[in-house]
Structure 1
Amino acid sequence: MRQAHVQNGSGCGKKILVIDGMIPRPDRDSGSLRMSHLLQLLTSFGYHVTFAAANLEAPQPYTGQLQAAGIEVLTRPDLPSLQNYLQWSGACFETVILSRVSVAVRYIEAVRQYVPQARVVFDTVDLHYVREFRGAKVTGNRALLKRALQTKTKELAAVNAADCTLVVSLAEKETLIRECPGAAVQIVSNIHHTFEPVPAFAPRKDLLFIGSFFHHPNIDAVHYFLADIFPLVKKKIAGVKIYIIGDNPPESIQSLAADDVIITGYIPDVSVYFNSCKVSVAPLRYGAGVKGKVHLSMSFGLPVVASSMAIEGMPFINNRHGLVVDTSQDFCQAIVSVYQDETLWTNISQNSQNLIKTHFSFEAAQRQLVKVLKQERTN
């Protein structure tokens, strides 16, 4: 067994290879934002970081952003395949991070064969099988249930095959320890800056929902909110609108656009919405991991009204860091309360940013990553 040389928060090892499903697009989805920040931290430790999308595609401007940060990016047509690259260059890596179950299943055997000296880290991003099981339960989709069973088999196999597995919350760590006794599991959660100063309460108006629509729980959440909650809110707050921001809204979402329902699609800079809207909503009915939409809102100091599912895995205290509700009537009342009460709004705004600084900052992630990079190989 071997151990990375990491001392006082910085690494003096050689090279780390990170493989994900695609190039991080931090302005488009939460998983990409976390990966982008994770790569930044690894370079700050003094490692030479090489990144590859599983398909070796390297779209701009995202590839250029990584390269500008000092990260080597593997691309086509320079390489015929990642398998070839591992065979040719694997000997130089001391750690390989495989992000998401689809990538881990596809490459872990090749990494073991061609990079035998490396510590293999499986980064779950969230437990996919948990999200799929919950989605099947909420929607009654039997095909999704079948897929969840298949995903669980693959995901737990990857956990058992890796030297270390990363999860984003204590809840998911406890789940994996029950399912895979003896597995080495570490928490590296979402990573955020906070944005200060926070614009004042009085000039703000309207509601905000944010989330990529490549992620099906967001589609379900918007349908639920607009059908069951927003009509109640409009009876209480005259003229209120909701801005629904996110990449790739399907026709079923676009068709819901109205004068008071603004479907923006992808927005390169979302700060203007976080700084002008009064309440962020996160009415998720299923999911897994921790929710970037909640963290991003809190990082801007924008109070969140969320379902229990949306704040899962967070040390989130109701009425302190936001409002947590699980029925349509309660969701409406919570929105009205924080929308109209400046003292409540201000307290939640301040407390939510403090929570991000304590648990979901670069400093918090750095402490956790050091543990991962110190951990010995187990296989």
Structure 2
Amino acid sequence: MSKLLIIGFVWPEPKSSAAGSRMMQLIETFQSLDYQITFASPCEKRKQAFDLEAIGISQKSIEVNSSSFDDFIKHLKPDVVLFDRFMMEEQFGWRVAENCPDAFRILDTEDLHGLRKGRQQAFKDQKTFDKSYLLNDTFKRELASIFRTDLSLIISEFEMDLLINDLHVDKSLLAYLPFMEDRLEDEFIVQLPNFELRQHFITIGNFLHAPNSQSVLYLKETIWPLIRKQLPQAELHIYGAYVSQKINQLHNDKQGFIIKGFVEDVNTVMQQTRVCLAPLQFGAGLKGKLIDAMKSGTPCVMSTIAAEGMFGDLESNGYMEDNPVDFANKAAQLYTDENQWKINQQNGFRVLNTRFNKEINQKELIARLQQLKEYLEKHRLNNTLGQMLQHQTLQSTKYMSKWIEEKNKK
């Protein structure tokens, strides 16, 4: 039986974030191939963390800057190592390469962190995002991780295009892998609450994620008052894990701006709501909230950042607007126009079943993994830049880690 080691930035929380849901989708894919899976993380486990042992996955707490990981991985001898975000590849990638050189190394980027950071800085500076913002220190570190690993999973077509065409990363190092969702069957769709049975607006997101916090502030200060003028009885329900005090203070019953916080089942509340709002002003990757909305038959009004990489050539499940007045007008229109609402709902079902089909996306990933594993040595020899970045003179993270480890012994 083949062995997979996942080195997680955090323990997966599928009910708290899209990143947690994606990790569970990757785990399910490898379980379908009968891999023996171990999930290891240096992060403290929160109460919302999924019980991995309940689905037959071994769990291991590991330390950064410690040779105890070397002993652990030598004993485990994994065939495949999956790094959850580039920070874990930085910390542990060199140890994997030294102790299990034949292990196939995969990086799941989740989203391009450097892209998100650059957009956030451009937003703070009130300037147009360009390449000077993209090539920040975070992005350079992330790009180095992509070159050092055998294959990087990229969640968004936009990010694939950016890496291949703008930054000239060889496509042999990348695999496009969006969310992998179960197909929505007609029997499920007809049971969803209809237009008349739904009310109010919804927005949702993990508040440890800066784009989500900023989005709620933007709704409160700018967009929601414009919507409320047109629909004085409507409410906006804000859900998400790890609500900060700053966000809680935005709650206002009179204004219909209701902070709900963490919800155990996103689908239940989403199915009761008529329209989802996602006015993200910066970010990267794919937005789990839009996936949840499409699964629940809830049309959306979203920014172009929120919509990025979601729809391809298909019609969206709502409207894309960046101007706050236009955003508010479209939200009110979608809330009151039943025919248009139904059209957008059907668009969402089509997008989900076409672009995020689990069966299709899993097959493509599995075929790619099998192909690369078969020709791993040749694949690595062709990755000249990756070989260079593994050279000792460019392994600053490795030698800093060794220095910290020695310092901690004193």
Q: Tell me whether the two structures share a fold, i.e. TM-score over 0.5.
A: yes
CA pair 274-256 structure 1, distance change in 2 beyond 3 A: same
Give the deviation of 1:352 after TM superposition. 0.2
CA pair 318-241 structure 1, distance change in 2 beyond 3 A: farther
The answer (yes or no) to whether the contact 1:245–1:263 under 8 Å persists in 2 is: yes
Matched, 1:205 2:199: yes
SS of the aligned residue for 1:375 comes to helix
Matched, 1:220 2:214: yes
- Distance in 2 separating the partners of 1:245 and 1:147: 31
- Distance in 2 separating the partners of 1:342 and 1:122: 44
Q: Which residue of 2 aligns with 1:153?
A: 140
Which structure has more relative contact order (CA 8 Å, sep 6+)? It is 1
The answer (yes or no) to whether the contact 2:42–2:62 under 8 Å persists in 1 is: no
Q: Which residue of 2 aligns with 1:10?
A: none
Matched, 1:120 2:111: no
SS of the aligned residue for 1:326 comes to coil
- Distance in 2 separating the partners of 1:294 and 1:220: 17
- Distance in 2 separating the partners of 1:71 and 1:346: 42
Deviates more, 1:195-204 or 1:130-139: 195-204
The 5 A counterparts of 1:10-159 are 14-55=2-43, 57-59=44-46, 62-64=49-51, 66-75=52-61, 81-90=68-77, 93-140=78-125, 149-159=136-146
Deviates more, 1:68-77 or 1:259-268: 68-77
SS of the aligned residue for 2:106 comes to strand
Q: Which has the larger radius of gyration?
A: 2
The answer (yes or no) to whether the contact 1:43–1:70 under 8 Å persists in 2 is: no
- Distance in 1 separating the partners of 2:316 and 2:111: 26
Q: Which residue of 2 aligns with 1:7?
A: none
- Distance in 2 separating the partners of 1:170 and 1:104: 23
Give the deviation of 1:172 after TM superposition. 0.8
The answer (yes or no) to whether the contact 2:294–2:352 under 8 Å persists in 1 is: yes
Unaligned runs of 5+ in 1: 1-12
- Distance in 2 separating the partners of 1:240 and 1:127: 36
- Distance in 1 separating the partners of 2:5 and 2:214: 35
**Which digits, 9 at most, give the CA deviation of each residue in 1:316-368, with x for residues without a partner?**
56864221111111101111111111111112112202211111132133123
The answer (yes or no) to whether the contact 1:156–1:180 under 8 Å persists in 2 is: no
**Which digits, 9 at most, give the CA deviation of each residue in 1:150-198, with x for residues without a partner?**
2112101101111111100121112222425325100111233446432
The answer (yes or no) to whether the contact 2:122–2:133 under 8 Å persists in 1 is: no
Give the deviation of 1:372 after TM superposition. 3.3
The 5 A counterparts of 1:224-373 are 224-259=218-253, 260-315=256-311, 320-373=316-369
Q: Which residue of 1 aligns with 2:385?
A: none
Normalised to the residue count of structure 1, the TM-score between the two structures is 0.89
Q: Which residue of 1 aligns with 2:151?
A: 164
- Distance in 1 separating the partners of 2:175 and 2:196: 42
Give the deviation of 1:72 after TM superposition. 2.0
**Which digits, 9 at most, give the CA deviation of each residue in 1:28-87, with x for residues without a partner?**
0110011012101210122112211233x44556352x222222222479x994333113
Task: Kindly provide the amino acid, as one letter, of the partner of residue 304 in structure 1.
Answer: C
CA pair 75-219 structure 1, distance change in 2 beyond 3 A: same
The answer (yes or no) to whether the contact 1:230–1:332 under 8 Å persists in 2 is: yes
**Which digits, 9 at most, give the CA deviation of each residue in 1:210-258, with x for residues without a partner?**
0000000011111111111111111111211101101122222111101
CA pair 226-358 structure 1, distance change in 2 beyond 3 A: same
SS of the aligned residue for 1:46 comes to coil
Q: Which residue of 2 aligns with 1:185?
A: 174
- Distance in 1 separating the partners of 2:210 and 2:70: 31
Aligned length, in residue pairs: 360
Deviates more, 1:116-125 or 1:42-51: 42-51
- Distance in 2 separating the partners of 1:180 and 1:100: 21
SS of the aligned residue for 1:117 comes to coil
CA pair 61-234 structure 1, distance change in 2 beyond 3 A: closer
**Which digits, 9 at most, give the CA deviation of each residue in 1:131-162, with x for residues without a partner?**
000000001299xx999722112101101111
Normalised to the residue count of structure 2, the TM-score between the two structures is 0.82
Which structure has greater helix proportion?
2
SS of the aligned residue for 1:25 comes to coil
- Distance in 2 separating the partners of 1:320 and 1:100: 29
